[in-house]
A and B are shown apart, each in its own frame.
Chain A
Amino acid sequence: MTPIAITMMIIAVLTVWGGLALALLNLKRHPEDEGALPKEHAPEL
């Protein structure tokens, strides 16, 4: 691959997947209200 293509690939992956990582981190920092969760649900859920 050419250096410019590699650079653009890295930038694309970092911005989009980095954005996803940040979004997940933000969500993790604000957990769901546990009291509102059902007591029982199927294991795969």
Chain B
Amino acid sequence: MSSAAAGSSRGAAGPAAPAKRETFSTRRLFILSAIGSAVGLGNIWRFPYIAYDNGGGAFLIPYLVALLTAGIPLLFLDYAVGHKFRGSAPLAYRRLHRVAEPLGWWQVLVCFVIAAYYAVIIAWSLMYTLFSFTEAWGDDAEGYFFGSFLRVAEAPGIGFTYVPSVFFPLLLVWIAVIVIMVAGIRKGISRANSILLPLLVVMFVLLVVQSLFLPGAAQGLNAFFTPDWSALADPSVWAAAYGHIFFSLSVGYGIMVTYSSYLKRRTDLTGSGMVVAFANSGFEILAGIGVFAALGFMAQAAGAGVNDVVTQGIGLAFVAFPTIVSQAPFGALMGVLFFGSLVFAGVTSLISVLEVIVAAVQDKVGWGRIKASLVVSGLVAAVSLALFPTATGLYLLDTSDAFVNSFGITLGALVTVVVLAWFLRKLPLLSAHLNHVSTIKMRRIWMVLVAGVVPLALIYMVSSEFISKISTTYEGYPEWFVGLFGWGMAGALVVVALVLTFIPWSRTSKAHDDPEYQSMLDEEEEETAR
């Protein structure tokens, strides 16, 4: 990762030879990077609770159904678009059809918002990795996190009271991430994933083993795995399964389109995708076991039931886990393993989110790798550092996360699928591409799933989110705040996406000057003629 300069040779090839598109040097590195992207904070802090809350062991059935009927088909759709049209999200959609370009920009902007706040959680985790040694939170993990550590203001708003204990670790996270981004696909992203992902797995397995030996672990696992079969008759449980799968697999917002555009022409897309999808789910199951074993211990120590201590997200990571770390034997080790895992899982996801933006700017403006990644990452870092490490940052993070998930990722995925499948009718073309290069063939069933099941599930999710967010002001925050940073932000993504589409592509951009893509098209034509 230190050899950033070496990555420049490609970008600075000179005007005579246009820079070739970067590629993952092997299929294995692509798979590692795609898994690194999919395995994120959600696998660790969201899945265990969702499964527990939606039928426990019985949740496995809707979960697997959602994975096979929506998650994997949508993953293959992203792969097909990125690989066939060999571009960042806006370029790939533009090559698919001119009218589809705004979809790509929408996804790029969603990534901008996500990257800005996602880095903040990594910074907190970094600090908590250190805090694990001293148990800085004492006996009041909750009070420490919101009070002493984040110094959360009493009311939501936008303030510029900076919190140094968040600002500086966040700065550190951004410097590390910018170094990775500047180094490029092979020397940066591939290398980071090939080091961090195995490390994450080893650390997490150790954490699970340690948790399983804690007293009360069995009680936690009982709570997690005991099936409530009646949940299967509840539509909201099925909706939760589809919702979780969409977020977990990192589909529908440009990441997989971008990563697959860096694959060589002859790469087994569906075979690789199956490994990515099942590895992501495998990690989630592992997380469920580890988290609930630890929660079982916490419940026993408190003389309470598991249902009294169960939680997710920030509450799980920064309130429940510190409490467990304080009580467990070898707690410091457990804290380092847990928070270190959050850092590594977060970084490998963050770089994939940033790559969507970097690739889009590179393609549109025709900049080289170093310039594009410095400007883009620098800009996102500046926004992130200006808005989030403040006393009001948590409110902003919470609101932007909720709205970008519902009306950025989910609505964006819905519009993309409907446009591709129903208006442009490109599924036969994409399915033919998948079959041309892959081992697991996509037949009519794939098109039925992408054009039917996926949009139905997404419509249900978007409409239920819309109803819940319109009926009460989100979290009881002030209306102007939610209006501006929730609804306003989500609407602005669409408007700015349209504006970006109308800005002309630079003469030196890949849309005008891409001999590599042209020769690939010629080859394909020759093959068809034969």
Contact surface of A with B, Cβ cutoff 8 Å: 1-2, 4-6, 8-9, 11-13, 15-17, 19-20, 22-24, 26-27, 29-30, 32-33, 36-38, 41-42, 44-45
Evaluate contact between B26 and A4: CB separation under 8 angstroms.
no
A4 CA to B224 CA in the complex, in Å?
A: 11
B264 interface contact, C-beta 8 A: yes
A1 CA to B217 CA in the complex, in Å?
A: 9
* A12, chain B: closest CB distance, angstroms: 5
Chain A contacts of B439 at CB under 8 A? 26-27, 29-30
Closest A residue to B23 by beta carbon equals A38
* A44, chain B: closest CB distance, angstroms: 6
Evaluate contact between B267 and A32: CB separation under 8 angstroms.
yes
Interface of chain B, main secondary structure? helix
B421 interface contact, C-beta 8 A: no
A-B contact pairs, 16 of them (CB 8 A): A1-B222, A2-B222, A4-B57, A4-B225, A5-B221, A8-B225, A8-B227, A16-B284, A19-B281, A23-B277, A26-B439, A29-B439, A30-B268, A36-B264, A36-B265, A37-B26
The 9 lowest CB-CB distance pairs between A and B, nearest first, are A8-B57, A23-B274, A20-B278, A5-B225, A19-B278, A8-B225, A23-B275, A5-B222, A1-B218
B171 interface contact, C-beta 8 A: no
Q: Encode contact with A along B170-212: 1 for CB under 8 Å, 0 otherwise.
A: 0000000000000000110011001100000000000000000
A22 CA to B282 CA in the complex, in Å?
A: 13
A5 CA to B225 CA in the complex, in Å?
A: 5
Evaluate contact between B282 and A45: CB separation under 8 angstroms.
no
Evaluate contact between B275 and A27: CB separation under 8 angstroms.
yes
Chain A contacts of B271 at CB under 8 A? 23, 26-27, 30
A6, A15, A24: the one contacting B64 at CB < 8 Å is A15
Closest A residue to B218 by beta carbon equals A1
Check A41/B285 contact, CB under 8 A, given A5-B225, A5-B226, A27-B275.
no
Closest A residue to B288 by beta carbon equals A12
* B27, chain A: closest CB distance, angstroms: 5
Chain B contacts of A13 at CB under 8 A? 285
A11 CA to B63 CA in the complex, in Å?
A: 13
* B25, chain A: closest CB distance, angstroms: 5
Chain A contacts of B224 at CB under 8 A? 5
Chain B contacts of A1 at CB under 8 A? 218, 221-222, 225
A4, A6, A30, A45: the one contacting B186 at CB < 8 Å is A45
Check A16/B25 contact, CB under 8 A, given A1-B218, A9-B225.
no
Evaluate contact between B278 and A16: CB separation under 8 angstroms.
yes
* Segment 273-291 of B: residues with Cβ below 8 Å from A: 274-275, 277-279, 281-282, 284-285, 289
Chain B contacts of A22 at CB under 8 A? 274, 278
Evaluate contact between B191 and A24: CB separation under 8 angstroms.
no
A11 CA to B278 CA in the complex, in Å?
A: 15
- Between B58, B266, B267, B278, the greatest number of chain A beta carbons within 10 A of the residue's beta carbon is seen for B278
